[in-house]
Amino acid sequence: MRVVVAGSGEVGFHIAEQLVGGNQDVVLIEKDRERAKFVAEHLDCLVVQGEAGSLQILEEAGLGSADIFIAVTDLDEVNMISCLVVDSEFDVPVKIARVRNVAYKKSAVFRHGLKAIDYIVNPEIEAVRAIMNTVEQGATSDVLVFEDTDIQLRSIYVGERSFFKGKTLKEIRQKLQYNFIIAGISRKDELIIPSGDSVIHQDDHLYLVSSRDNLERVLSKTGRRKRILHHIVLVGGGKIGRYVTEELIRAGRRVKVIDKDYDRCKLLAAQFPEALIINEDISEQKIFEEEQLHTADLLIATTNDEALNMLTAIYAKRLGVKRVIPLVNKTNYVTIAANLGIDATVSPKASSVSAILRFIRRGNIKSVYTIFDGKAETIEFAIPESSMVVGKTVKDLRLPAGSLVVAVNRQDKNYVPNGDFVIKGGDNVITFSRTEQVERLEEIFSH
């Protein structure tokens, strides 16, 4: 499959990296010469330097033989126009555009259908969904949910006093009599697909999969009891902050919004009379004391400054705020967040990439999430009665090394399967694997 990606920012680079890791033929278009040079040095793909809306550049990128075109430059207009050019000049089956401005999506053009764009992804909306999923689960950890099931994937950090530290997976399963699996271990720059004898180390990040109730029991036993989050402070009243405020109020939560822009605060106050809008700079230490922010159940930091989001979350946690969620994109921030006591993080980049991958793969794939900065993926497959895997045991599937079937949902019941578990038509099968094994997994479960 040939995929042409226009734009090599956070989302474009990560999509290309993910697809290259999955053995796809990728071409990346980037207008900035220095950025194009950087990408060419770091990704094993063809990089074409130029404007994504230029017919000449699109021809040079090989759109004539492309299966998918993904436009994720920083400008909505460039993304939409490049899709229009591709649609009019090339026979490309799938065109995807990142469109941040919701007004475009609500316009008459989109309401009546724009065949030039098959799928529109909005990073802010995807991030809001991720934030609300995390809030609904009590913000005890990062959480990924799977469609039409109550199976979840949680990421937890192993600190100095963690229950998991120094134990093998066998010992953990003996002590915690719940139906769950540790699907992966992130250790420094390495992703480990563990066996029963694998030992958990301090500073590991564990990926746990099971039903919501089982995971809550596991987290409770290990010191991460779920809390009902009534009083929520939201720092940053931009697009994401505004959407999150709307969802929180709809869910019946008490919300304080803090933003240093006076005009933005006036608009927020008019839009959300139920919320308390505070026009202050969160970097001023006095705001925490004056507004008694330490009494909050949850603080969500959604400013455009990732470093400020991290620092705000860390400071709030130390003052006594029960749960914190900063919005971050940089991999190093996500990696160190749990080490610093941060309960969960949300990445608009990762949320957008997962949404695009889910659409690209479609077929019987219901959910896709990228894990560990793209080094792994977890995928939910819907198994039809006609599938070649129906009637086979898990051990008969001959899964590639570095991949696991971590959960199966069958008629509202959840299973953590062993090698003798038999796959049936109608099952939802959830896999966890290294990115390079995704193509082989798709071959196994998509036929």
Tens digit of pLDDT for each residue in 428-444?
999 999 988 888 998 99
Q: What is the CATH number of domain 350-445?
A: 3.30.70.1450
Q: Does domain 2-121 have CATH number 3.40.50.1010?
A: no
Domain ranges of the chain: 2-121, 127-134+228-346, 150-221, 350-445
The architecture (CATH level 2) of 150-221 comes to: 2-Layer Sandwich (3.30)
What are the distances in angstroms from CA 349 to CA 334, 363, 370, 375?
A: 12, 24, 10, 15
Give tens-digit pLDDT for 185-224: 988 878 899 988 999 999 898 999 999 888 888 888 777 7
Per-residue pLDDT at 113: 44
Task: State pTM to two decimals.
Answer: 0.83
pLDDT grade for 112, boundaries at 50, 70 and 90: very low
**If residue 15 lies in a helix (H) or strand (E), which one and from where to where?**
helix 10-21
Whole-number Å distance between alpha carbons of 132 and 80: 29
User: What is the CATH T-level fold of the domain 127-134+228-346, as seen in this structure?
Assistant: Rossmann fold (3.40.50)
Nearest CA-CA partner of 373 in 190, 152, 99, 120: 190
* Residue recorded with tokens 């990296």: 17
Per-residue pLDDT at 70: 96
- Starting at the edge strand found earlier in the chain, the sheet holding 181-187 runs 142-145, 151-157, 205-211, 181-187, 190-192
Domain 350-445 in the same topology as domain 127-134+228-346: no
